[in-house]
């Protein structure tokens, strides 16, 4: 990275200002190293016990880019299930949102409740080749959370990937958000006394015998039964949301339903947490089985 000081004007200054905003410094992101940027740098250097000269060199860049605080390392698996280099873009953008998804069964095939197969990560890595992504974009999310509450980081969340499927005209939403996948079979149908979830058009028996399917009497997007999210998974989700909001200075506003209501999000007026179903009528993640009200209350604790 460039050595930066007051008066500099370039994209590296813009990146610096984005990172400083993520760390709680309210300064303009304009690509100009002005007095307020210098003040923020000096304050950060003092807190990081660096030479507080307002010059951003190797040591300051290293400290700014270091996300490996103690609780992060202990709670998040940053070595298993990494995606390849063509699954995300190494570009830094100011984060304003977190988006919750679920995997629609990918992690259940050949896996168990306590040992997920993480098939969605394998699919990303097989799909995301240099040639394919040059035309179709790089798709993945930064995190996944399995049924046992294990949190996996697939790439550094300061970067970005397509995960909303809204097209290039709305890719600012992908760039400014951190995506999280929850392992879950998704929508299900009851045939006789058995439940089935679907991988494409293939019906697969639901086999979590200790986790009763959630019944939604009103029906939602053509279904009445939905795979539950585990308590451990919800606890881990709340922890990760709080961590990311704190680390990236994201507001903890939470859309506490799975209804389609994209206007504020599409107009770039919403800052906070939402889910895929809020912006896509053809998606079923998150489902009514998610404890929206409980999570919203816990985020306020």
How far apart, in whole angstroms, are the C-alpha atoms of residue 184 and residue 198? Answer: 12
Tell which CATH architecture fits domain 71-299: 3-Layer(aba) Sandwich (3.40)
How far apart, in whole angstroms, are the C-alpha atoms of residue 241 and residue 33? Answer: 31
* pLDDT score of 1 more than 50: yes
Sign of the C-alpha dihedral, residues 162, 165, 166, 169? positive
Tell me the pLDDT tens digit for each residue of 44-80: 999 888 889 999 998 899 888 875 334 444 578 888 8
How far apart, in whole angstroms, are the C-alpha atoms of residue 9 and residue 30? Answer: 9
**Residue 1 CB partners (closer than 8 Å, separation 6+):** 12, 15, 56, 58, 61
- Is 74 within 8 Å of 153 (Cβ atoms)? no
pTM for the model stands at: 0.79
Q: What is the mean pLDDT of residues 269-290?
A: 97
Query: 286 preceded by cis ω (within 30°)?
Result: yes
Write down the pLDDT at residue 238.
93
More confident residue, 30 or 177: 177
Write down the pLDDT at residue 107.
55
Ranges of CATH 3.40.80.10 domains, the chain: 71-299
What is the rounded (10 degree) CA torsion for 109, 102, 203, 206?
Answer: 70
How far apart, in whole angstroms, are the C-alpha atoms of residue 2 and residue 57? Answer: 7
Element (H, E) at 226: strand 223-226
Tell me the pLDDT tens digit for each residue of 8-48: 998 789 889 988 988 889 999 888 999 999 999 999 999 88
* pLDDT score of 289 more than 80: yes
Q: Provide the pairing of β-strand 272-275 with 97-102.
A: parallel
Q: What is the mean pLDDT of residues 226-234?
A: 92
Q: What is the mean pLDDT of residues 110-124?
A: 67
Write down the pLDDT at residue 23.
84
HSE-CB at 68 with a 13 A cutoff on CA atoms is 6
* pLDDT score of 121 more than 70: yes
Return the minimum-mean-pLDDT range out of 121-125, 170-174, 288-292, 295-299.
Answer: 121-125
- In this prediction, residue 113 has a pLDDT band, given cuts at 50, 70 and 90, of very low
Residue (of 198, 187, 259, 258) closest to 224 by Cα position: 187
- In this prediction, residue 218 has a pLDDT band, given cuts at 50, 70 and 90, of very high
Averaged pLDDT of the chain:
90
Write down the pLDDT at residue 200.
74
How far apart, in whole angstroms, are the C-alpha atoms of residue 139 and residue 189? Answer: 29
Q: Does domain 11-66 have CATH number 1.10.101.10?
A: yes
* pLDDT score of 281 more than 90: yes
How far apart, in whole angstroms, are the C-alpha atoms of residue 10 and residue 1? Answer: 12
Helix and strand counts by DSSP (H, E) for the chain? 10, 11
- In this prediction, residue 106 has a pLDDT band, given cuts at 50, 70 and 90, of low
Write down the pLDDT at residue 207.
83
- In this prediction, residue 99 has a pLDDT band, given cuts at 50, 70 and 90, of very high
The percentage of the chain sitting over the pLDDT mark of 70, rounded to a whole number, equals: 93
How far apart, in whole angstroms, are the C-alpha atoms of residue 154 and residue 144? Answer: 8
Ranges of CATH 1.10.101.10 domains, the chain: 11-66
Q: Strand, coil or helix: what is 100?
A: strand
């Amino acid at each position: 990275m460039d050595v930066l000081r007051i008066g500099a004007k370039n994209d590296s200054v813009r990146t610096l200002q984005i990172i400083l905003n993520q760390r709680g410094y309210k300064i303009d992101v304009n690509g100009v190293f002005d007095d307020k940027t210098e003040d923020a740098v000096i304050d950060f250097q003092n807190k990081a016990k660096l030479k507080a000269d307002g010059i951003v060199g190797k040591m300051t860049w290293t400290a700014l880019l270091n996300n490996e605080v103690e609780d992060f390392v202990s709670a998040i698996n940053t070595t298993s299930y990494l995606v390849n280099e063509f699954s995300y873009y190494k570009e830094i953008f100011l984060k304003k949102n977190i988006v919750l998804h679920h995997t629609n069964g990918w992690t259940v095939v050949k896996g168990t409740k306590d040992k997920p197969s993480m098939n969605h990560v394998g699919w990303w890595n097989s799909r995301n080749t240099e040639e394919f992504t040059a035309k179709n974009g790089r798709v993945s999310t930064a995190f996944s959370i399995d049924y046992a509450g294990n949190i996996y980081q697939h790439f550094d969340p300061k970067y970005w990937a397509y995960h909303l499927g809204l097209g290039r005209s709305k890719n600012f939403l992908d760039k400014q958000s951190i995506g999280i996948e929850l392992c879950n079979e998704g929508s299900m149908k009851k045939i006789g006394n058995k439940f089935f979830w679907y991988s494409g058009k293939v019906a697969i028996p639901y086999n979590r015998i200790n986790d009763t399917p959630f019944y939604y009497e009103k029906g939602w997007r053509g279904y009445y039964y939905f795979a539950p999210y585990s308590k451990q998974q919800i606890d881990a989700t709340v922890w990760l949301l709080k961590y990311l909001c704190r680390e990236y200075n994201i507001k903890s506003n939470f859309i506490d339903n799975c209804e389609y209501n994209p206007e504020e999000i599409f107009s770039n007026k919403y800052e906070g947490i939402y889910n895929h179903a809020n912006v896509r009528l053809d998606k079923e993640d998150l489902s009514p089985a998610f404890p929206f009200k409980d999570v919203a209350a816990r985020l306020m604790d």
